[in-house]
Amino acid sequence: MFSSSGCLFCDLLYIIPLITAFYFLRQYIRGGQFKENVRANGKIAVVTGANSGVGRALCEELNKRGAKVYMLCRDEKRAAQAREQLVENGCNDSNLLIQTVDLADFSSIRDVVKILLTEESHIDILINNAGLLGIPQFEKTKDGVEKTWQSNYLGHFLLTELLLSSLEKSSDPRIVNVSSIVHPLADSIDLDYVNNPKNYGRMKAYSRSKLANIMHSRELSTRYPKIKSSSCHPGNINSNILSTSGWIFLKDIFAPIFWFCFKTEMDGAQTPLHLALSQHLKGNGLYYSDCVVVEESEKARFDGDCVKLYEQSRQSMELFIPLIYLFIAIIFVCIGVYGNLNVIWASIRKKELRGKHGVLLQIFVSFHTICLLFELIFTSLNVINRAYGWTQLNCAKAMSVYMFALSAQDLLALIIVADLLVAISLPIKHRIWSLSIYIPLVTTPAFIFGITFVALSNAYADPNLILPACNPLLSMNTFIADIWLLCNFGINAVILLLYAVISALIRVKAGQVAKKVVTQNACVMRKKTDEQKAIPSRNRTVSIGVAPIDSSNQFVLPQIVVTS
């Protein structure tokens, strides 16, 4: 009995240390944990790849901490199943919203952004988590981009760009790009190289996209310092990321090993969660692993390469948009210049433009010309810069001149049109048509340009890509720029509306005067006819001459001349 107990005790001496070693090894594999007791009440979060893996775990954690979470998923059915599981785990179902999006389709991304911008006034957290690994053969999306590159990086890039204005409205905006420890294996991030089938390899394609994720975060932190942009390696996770690779069978064969040697989905979510909610982040644009800052590959640290990648990415998606705007701007500038030349020519030839309104119009033309030249030059230079992948121009120094000129232009036009409206409405002397005919020539281009901007912005849900290409408001605070644009657009709309009212009043008044003249003529004719009946019959001629305006610019009664 003693000997058997002794053997059992000896066995325990071996087993207990072994179990302890396995336990601590497992804790080490689980990695760093986010332990801050931080709430996310009232925050709006957007998570891609939310139907499984790290994305689903992130949705659960964010939701349980009080955030409203948009689950962006490619498969609506799987997303619904994931949502049901999260609700069963204790999540608030009213704060879990599903939106379908395919990151390999730019139009799908634009569609979902329209919905997000419509439903929410701002977004606090964007986690770019979705990813593909191990696509067997080279494959292009319908947008003409290698599928892994677009799904893992370029689709997230577009999504981020479209949501930047909404993120900037948050008091504490966060962008998290989920990368990978394999990013140093990337051989190139040049778009032409990536899109060449000869350069394709499963892991090569994946590592390129993950290097791009890190570089994207670094460049975002430079361009938008208010937004905390970070990237991270979530760890080696026992997830379904291999589902597109043909290697998924390995997960079933080696399930016990995978369970022990890889992180769980919740463990993998800890670092992205730390970046999304932590109140103690160190710096901006950094790369994290296990909730601490680590050094990324040397390939990701060249600022020049980050700028080049950023500009190439923008160019690959929307170069045609600023080209359209350049064409539109040239047309409107020509119309505006034509209107200005008409005013100048009229001021030389017509005396009615030498008075009060003539002076106002001359000042108006001067301001308008400054604005036209500024917009044309700025647009042209930025389109050229985009074409060659250079950095976007910044016009902060010229901002005050432009805004003053454009604001003065609009106010002067409004004063002129309002004065004309008063003149036509009240019985006072006024030279109306010859002066007001020039107003639409200089206000219509701005109005149509505003309508075009709104239409294209809505079509592409992309004001951050369109506006900087053609307007110096890029240098301004987003809120101020929005308000100023609305005011500018509204003033031009009011000017044209008042001008339409003036035109209608002129027609009505002219019709009333003409009717009055006809009535008076008829009365005079009847009176003269009666008088003629009393005169002895003889040859006589009656002529009626109508002089509608005398030298004082007033309508006068028709004059009747009778000759015998």
Q: Using DSSP, state whether 531 is helix, strand or coil.
A: helix
Contact 416, 357 (CB under 8 A): yes
**Cα–Cα separations (whole angstroms), residue 472 to 132, 399, 451:** 39, 7, 18
Does residue 410 sit in helix, strand or coil? helix
* 8 A C-beta contact, residue 375 and residue 471: yes
Q: Is the pLDDT of residue 395 over 50?
A: no
Average pLDDT, the chain: 73
> Is the per-residue pLDDT at 231 higher than 60?
yes
CA torsion 213→214→220→222, rounded to 10°? -160
Instruction: Please provide residue 187's backbone torsions phi and psi, each rounded to the nearest 5 degrees.
Output: -95, -30
Percent of the chain with pLDDT over 70: 48
3-class SS of residue 288: strand
The segment with the largest mean pLDDT, out of 187-191, 239-243, 435-439, is: 187-191
pLDDT band with cut points at 50, 70 and 90 for residue 380: low
Confidence of residue 123 (pLDDT cuts 50, 70, 90): very high
The DSSP line for 505-524 is HHHHHHHHHHHHHHHHHHHH
pLDDT digits (tens, 9 = 90+) for 29-42: 667 788 899 999 99
**Distance (Å, whole) CA 232 – CA 273:** 10
Q: In the structure encoding, which two tokens stand for residue 284, read together? A: 């901006």
Tell me the per-residue pLDDT of 193-209, one tens digit each, with 9 for 90 and over.
999 999 999 899 999 99
CATH class of 37-314: alpha beta
- Rounded Cα gap, residues 421 and 424, in angstroms: 5
Distances (CA, A) of 384 to 97, 228, 317, 462, 465: 41, 31, 16, 20, 15
513 Cβ contact list (under 8 Å, min separation 6): 548, 555
Mean pLDDT of 117-121: 89
- pLDDT above 50 (res 66): yes
Range in 36-40, 154-158, 177-181, 531-535 the model is least confident about: 531-535
Encoded tokens for 543: 């002529």
For the chain, which residues make up each domain, given as ranges?
Answer: 37-314, 319-515
Distance CA 160, CA 310 (A): 12
> For 27-95, where are the E strands, in sequence order?
44-48, 68-73
| 2-30 average pLDDT score | 60
| pLDDT given for residue 157 in this prediction | 95
Question: Hey, which of 91-100, 137-146, 371-380 has the most confident mean pLDDT?
Answer: 91-100
Maximum Cα–Cα distance across the chain: 164
- Give the per-residue pLDDT at 546: 43
Spell out where 117-210 has E strands: 125-128, 174-178
339 band by pLDDT with thresholds 50, 70 and 90: low
Question: Quick check: 9 pLDDT over 50?
Answer: yes
pLDDT category, 454, cuts 50, 70, 90?
A: low
Helix (H) or strand (E) holding 468: helix 463-470
Q: Which residues are catalytic?
A: 206
* Res 312: pLDDT: 85
The model's pLDDT over 434-444, given as tens digits with 9 standing for 90+, comes to 445 555 555 55
pLDDT in tens, 463-485: 444 444 344 444 445 555 566 66
**pLDDT at position 103, please?**
94
Over range 394-419, report the average pLDDT: 59
Q: What is the DSSP letter of 263?
A: B
Q: Does residue 59 surpass a pLDDT of 90?
A: yes
Between 200 and 347, where is the model more confident? 200
The per-residue pLDDT for range 159-182, each reduced to its tens digit, is 998 899 899 999 999 999 999 999
